[in-house]
């Protein structure tokens, strides 16, 4: 080889320079957009911030990059920076621990929904080309002690430069960072490093703890007497439906005609001011089923039993049907089944199953479950976990013949579509959820037993407002579109008389602000389970007669 070999420190600096500039384009763009006047002062400020990022990256690389894994680690860092940049730019997301948790738990199909030509182009330019170059560079072999001395020296120097630059630009920097907390999660590759460490530490800590029991005193407040049919409650956990596009919430389009009909007949209540616990499935779903409520859940590291464990302990049969990527641990200790992989020509035409597949399998599953329980069955709670409005490929969530709003955005790069086409595809999916709920109610009405349905979405969605798409913004800065969700309740006549409710006892809560915090306690009341753990202040049925105390 007659090319001159790189000094290891020199090559490391080249990588640091790439990562802190091209590897962080979304961050630089966000900072540039943030500064109102592009005066000399702001340009100098940006330059100062650039110096800090370069110094920090250099320091990180001096500590991480050693001969044995220099080449693969470099390529991995290029990949992290390029992929993060693409998703941040395309969907306006940031890389924080809960987004990381989402990524880790995602499956092949969800990844396929995100693939696009522009992603391939970004990976080619940001990973393949520079990675190929990086891999081929000859590097001088230094004795390890000497190399360690050089790299530690470089790390020290970088630290000094970083401190000096922070010192000089502290004022501007501190206020920008305070006002724009999301910027912290935009810095590649530190965001990924921080989020994965947090996730790993959290998971190890959780794994070492034993599951804590919840409501060990749970019991049915009223057992079904002999000859009385055991009640059936269906809890529909919606996906990514925001209240803003829900017909019953006053949306200009009637995206919920079937629910509206039920409401018109006085059979259905719509809760107008419900906020979600999180901005993604990973947080919201376990949080809803937890007794803790958002505030405590967000700080909690102890694994607790959840609502389903409590219902089961009280003597009810519980079944979780999942048409999405799993129940996030909620259904671990109750009978459950995934419907995503089923082969059904009607409901799964292209290998992906529409949510109605759950209704298709429900009767048979229910019979199996209740047969096994025999006469001991005091009632059943079924959870239907929807695919709902899972993005970005909203158009895949609705069967062709049910697409009312046209034309639809048929790309998963949402920015490529006119805003109206994104909304059309999204609204079609909302309407399909309305159809699913209508079908479920019709089926429940036909059952010779008291029945109920409670629907609530797990979180909302941004459809381009404020330049944001999808969901998952850290809660404290999440826009309303991502946290205001629809919730609806339907009770059959036999259920109303069983409960002794006249349909007005929850009427006040319909207009009041409530949240996922109310889910655990309200479902307990609906299922007539009593426990000391029940909190009336978090129960939308608190004013209803004969509630369990």
**Entry field: residues in the chain:** 549
Closest approach of Zn ion to the CB of residue 337, in Å: 20
Q: Which is nearer to Zn ion, 84 or 457 (CB)?
A: 457
Shortest Å distance, C-beta 205 to Zn ion: 25
CB 404 within 8 A of CB 431: yes
Binding-site string for Zn ion from residue 205 to residue 244, where x marks contact by CB under 5 A and - marks none: ----------------------------------x-----
Residue closer to Zn ion by CB (options 336, 525) is 336
Nearer to Zn ion, 352 or 458 (CB): 458
Which residue among 267, 352, 458, 481 contacts Zn ion (CB under 5 A)? 458
**Closer residue to Zn ion (CB): 386 or 531:** 386
Residue placing its CB nearer to Zn ion in the complex, 108 or 252: 108
Q: Confirm or reject binding of residue 281 to Zn ion (CB under 5 A).
A: yes
What are 171's two structure tokens?
């004022």
How far apart (Å, rounded) are the C-alpha atoms in residues 379 and 338? 22
Residue 500 phi/psi, 5-degree rounding, is: 75, 25
Cβ distance to Zn ion smaller for residue 239 or 408? 239
Q: Which residue's C-beta sits nearest to Zn ion?
A: 281
x/- mask, Zn ion, residues 328-347, rule CB under 5 A, reads --------------------
CB closer to Zn ion, 313 vs 328: 328
Residue placing its CB nearer to Zn ion in the complex, 25 or 243: 243
User: What's the CA gap between 544 and 498, in Å, rounded?
Assistant: 13
- Structure token pair of residue 381: 């709670």
Find the part of the chain contacting Zn ion (CB under 5 A) among 23-31, 50-58, 277-285, 339-347.
277-285
Choose the binding region for Zn ion from 221-229, 350-358, 418-426, 450-458 (rule: CB under 5 A): 450-458
Stretch that binds Zn ion, among 35-43, 77-85, 434-442, 453-461 (CB under 5 A): 453-461
Residue 193 φ/ψ, nearest 5 degrees:
-60, -45
- Binding segment for Zn ion (CB under 5 A), chosen from 131-139, 175-183, 416-424, 451-459, is 451-459
DSSP for 447-499 reads: SSS-EEEEEEES---EESGGG-EES---GGG--HHHHEEEEEEEE-HHHHHHH
What does the DSSP 8-state code read for residue 304? B
> Which tokens go with 314?
């009280």
Nearer to Zn ion, 267 or 481 (CB): 481
Query: Which DSSP helix (H) or strand (E) runs through 233?
Result: strand 232-238
Q: How far is the CB of 281 from Zn ion (least distance, A)?
A: 3
Compute how many residues bind Zn ion; rule: CB under 5 A: 3
* CA–CA distances in Å: residue 129 to residues 41, 66, 301: 36, 22, 42
Task: Give CA–CA dist 344/325, Å, rounded.
Answer: 18
The least CB distance from residue 137 to Zn ion, in Å, is: 44
What is the x/- site pattern for Zn ion, positions 497-526, by CB under 5 A?
Answer: ------------------------------
d(CA 469, CA 462): 5
CB 263 to Zn ion: min, Å? 25
Segment near Zn ion (CB under 5 A); pick from 92-100, 276-284, 326-334, 399-407: 276-284
Please report how close the Cβ of residue 356 comes to Zn ion at its closest, in angstroms: 19
Q: Select from 459, 399, 457, 472 the least CA-distant residue to 429.
A: 399
Could you tell me the two tokens for 258? Answer: 């079937």
Task: Report, in Å, the least distance between residue 102 CB and Zn ion.
Answer: 9
Could you give the CA distance from residue 519 to residue 539 in angstroms, rounded to a whole number? Answer: 7
Can you tell me the distance from the alpha carbon of 64 to that of 53, in angstroms, rounded to the nearest whole number? 16
Q: Which of 239, 309 has the CB closer to Zn ion? A: 239
Burial of residue 401 (number of CB atoms within 10 Å: 0-12, 13-18, 19+): exposed
Tally of CB atoms within 10 A around 252:
7
Contact 423, 431 (CB under 8 A): no
Tell me how far, at minimum, the Cβ of 276 lies from Zn ion, in Å. Answer: 9
User: For the CA atoms of 536, 542, 545, 549, what is the dihedral angle to 10 degrees?
Assistant: -10
Q: Minimum distance from CB of 459 to Zn ion (Å)?
A: 5
**Shortest distance, position 174 Cβ to Zn ion, whole Å:** 35
Contact 350, 427 (CB under 8 A): no
Binding window for Zn ion (CB under 5 A); candidates: 196-204, 244-252, 278-286, 351-359: 278-286
Q: Which is nearer to Zn ion, 327 or 425 (CB)?
A: 327
| Nearest CB to Zn ion, comparing residues 276 and 428 | 276
Non-local CB neighbours of 306 within 8 Å, separated by 6+ positions: 214, 286, 289, 290, 291, 330, 520
- Our finding on whether 305 is near Zn ion (CB under 5 A) is no
Instruction: For residue 188, give Cα distances in angstroms to 100, 296, 451.
Output: 14, 30, 51
Minimum separation from the CB atom of position 516 to Zn ion (A)? 12
CB of 213 to Zn ion, least distance (A): 28
Contact residues for Zn ion (CB under 5 A)?
239, 281, 458
């Amino acid at each position: 080889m007659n090319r001159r070999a790189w000094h290891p420190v020199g090559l490391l600096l080249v990588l640091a320079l790439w990562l802190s500039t091209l590897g962080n384009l979304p961050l630089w763009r966000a900072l540039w957009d943030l500064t109102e006047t592009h005066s000399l002062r702001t340009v100098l400020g940006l330059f100062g911030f650039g110096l800090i990022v370069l110094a920090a990256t250099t320091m990180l690389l001096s500590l991480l990059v050693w001969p044995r894994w220099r080449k693969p680690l470099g390529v991995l860092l290029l990949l992290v920076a390029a992929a993060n940049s693409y998703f941040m730019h395309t969907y306006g997301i940031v890389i924080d621990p809960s987004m990381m948790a989402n990524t880790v738990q995602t499956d092949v199909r969800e990844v396929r929904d995100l693939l696009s030509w522009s992603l391939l182009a970004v990976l080619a330019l940001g990973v393949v080309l520079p990675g190929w170059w990086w891999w081929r560079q000859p590097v001088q072999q230094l004795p390890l002690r000497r190399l360690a001395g050089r790299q530690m020296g470089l790390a020290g120097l970088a630290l000094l430069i970083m401190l000096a630059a922070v010192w000089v630009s502290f004022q501007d920097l501190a206020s920008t960072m305070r006002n724009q907390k999301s910027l912290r999660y935009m810095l590649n590759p530190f965001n990924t490093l921080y989020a994965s460490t947090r996730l790993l530490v959290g998971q190890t800590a959780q794994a070492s703890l034993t599951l804590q029991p919840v409501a060990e005193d749970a019991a049915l407040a009223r057992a079904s007497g002999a000859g009385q049919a055991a009640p059936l409650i269906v809890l529909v956990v919606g996906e990514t439906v925001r209240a803003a596009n829900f017909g019953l919430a006053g949306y200009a389009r009637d995206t919920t005609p079937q629910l509206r009909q039920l409401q018109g007949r006085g059979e259905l209540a719509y809760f107008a001011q419900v906020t979600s616990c999180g901005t993604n499935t990973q947080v919201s779903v376990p949080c809803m089923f937890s007794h803790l409520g958002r505030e405590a859940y967000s700080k909690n590291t102890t694994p607790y039993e959840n609502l389903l464990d409590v219902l089961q302990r009280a003597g009810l049969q519980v079944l979780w049907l999942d048409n999405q990527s799993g129940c996030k641990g909620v259904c671990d200790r109750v009978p459950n089944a995934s419907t995503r992989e089923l082969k059904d020509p009607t409901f799964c035409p292209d290998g992906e199953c529409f949510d109605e597949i759950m209704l298709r399998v429900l009767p048979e599953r229910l019979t199996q479950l209740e047969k096994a329980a025999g006469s001991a069955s005091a009632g059943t709670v079924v959870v239907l976990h929807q695919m709902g409005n899972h993005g970005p490929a909203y158009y895949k969530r609705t069967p062709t013949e049910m697409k009312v709003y046209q034309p639809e955005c048929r790309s998963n790069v949402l920015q490529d579509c006119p805003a109206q086409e994104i909304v059309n595809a999204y609204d079609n999916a909302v309407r399909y959820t309305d159809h699913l709920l209508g079908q479920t109610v019709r089926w429940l009405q036909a059952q010779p037993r008291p029945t109920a349905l409670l629907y609530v979405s797990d979180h909302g969605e941004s459809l381009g407002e404020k330049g944001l798409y999808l969901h998952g913004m850290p809660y404290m800065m999440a826009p309303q579109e991502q946290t205001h969700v629809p919730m609806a309740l339907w009770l059959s006549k036999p259920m109303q008389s069983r409960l002794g409710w006249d349909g007005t006892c929850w009427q006040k809560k319909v207009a009041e602000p409530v949240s996922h915090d109310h889910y655990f306690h309200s479902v307990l009341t609906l299922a007539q389970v009593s426990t000391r753990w029940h909190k009336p202040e978090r129960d939308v049925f608190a004013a209803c007669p004969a509630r369990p105390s």
